[in-house]
Amino acid sequence: MLEFSFENWNKFMDFIQKKLPIREDMFFNLNDLSQKLDLSRSELIFLFTVFIYACEYSNEYLNKMDIKISNNTIFFTYSKNHIKKISLSIRDYKDLSDIIYLFKNIQKGKGFEIDSNLNIPVITKIQGLYRQYPFMFKKLNGYIFPSEIGYKLGIVALSFKRVNQIPKTLDVLNYRFEIKKKEF
């Protein structure tokens, strides 16, 4: 089992931060890159894996990057205009709308305490959405807040709710949310 080394992580992230934003399409040969960064191939794959999972929780790269791994090569497609498609059920769409309404009008920007054992329906909804769509929320000091994308999607959902409509798709920032009409 590989141990996590912050020195190797920092070396890897310095390389990634210098290289990723420059070009829209790129690939890395793992053997060449492991020699360049003075890391074993298995360490490099481990660091890429950690990086890919970290991207799921960070809007910095997630909404701009597609990652494919094939044989000895890792391919990145990076675009500032890249649209990431996300499917939402009608229930999740309505729950997010309700949560943003509460956050904006009742909580007045204060976060929700989700770590408590309270069995409050809105907390249960937030916990479910946070597990399913972690990029829509951020945690800070035991409280959860909507992320920029979650807040903006919720505001758009609220405007549709006022006219009693549910759209088929919503484009918010670099995301296209497809609202599923059928619940299952």
> What would the pLDDT profile of 109-129 be if each residue is shown by its tens digit?
788 777 666 667 777 888 888
Enclosing domain of residue 27: 6-78
Task: Tell me the mean pLDDT in the region 69-96.
Answer: 75
Q: Does 91 score more than 80 pLDDT?
A: yes
Specify whether the CB–CB gap between 87 and 163 falls below 8 A.
Answer: no
Of residues 53 and 136, the one with the higher pLDDT is: 136
Q: Give the pLDDT score at 67.
A: 64
For residue 119, give every residue at least 6 positions away whose Cβ sits within 8 Å of its Cβ, in sequence order, or none: none
Q: Which of 104, 97, 49 is nearest to 74 (CA)?
A: 49
Domain count, the chain: 2
Q: What is the 3-state secondary structure (H, E, C) of the chain?
A: CCCCCHHHHHHHHHHHHHHCCCCCEEEEEHHHHHHHHCCCHHHHHHHHHHHHHHHCCCHHHHCCEEEEEECCEEEEEECCCCCEEEEEEHHHHHHHHHHHHHHHHHCCCCCEECCCCCCCHHHHHHHHHHHHCHHHEEEECCEEEECHHHHHHHHHHHHHHHCCCCCCEEEECCEEEEEECCCC
Q: Give the pLDDT score at 2.
A: 56
For residue 71, give every residue at least 6 positions away whose Cβ sits within 8 Å of its Cβ, in sequence order, or none: none
Are 106 and 141 found together in one domain? yes
Domain boundary among 54, 78, 102: 78
Are 133 and 104 found together in one domain? yes
Q: Give the pLDDT score at 57.
A: 53
> What would the pLDDT profile of 16-61 be if each residue is shown by its tens digit?
776 654 445 566 777 777 888 888 878 877 887 777 666 655 555 5
Task: Tell me the mean pLDDT in the region 79-100.
Answer: 82
- pTM of the prediction? 0.54
Q: Give the pLDDT score at 36.
A: 82
Are 92 and 172 found together in one domain? yes
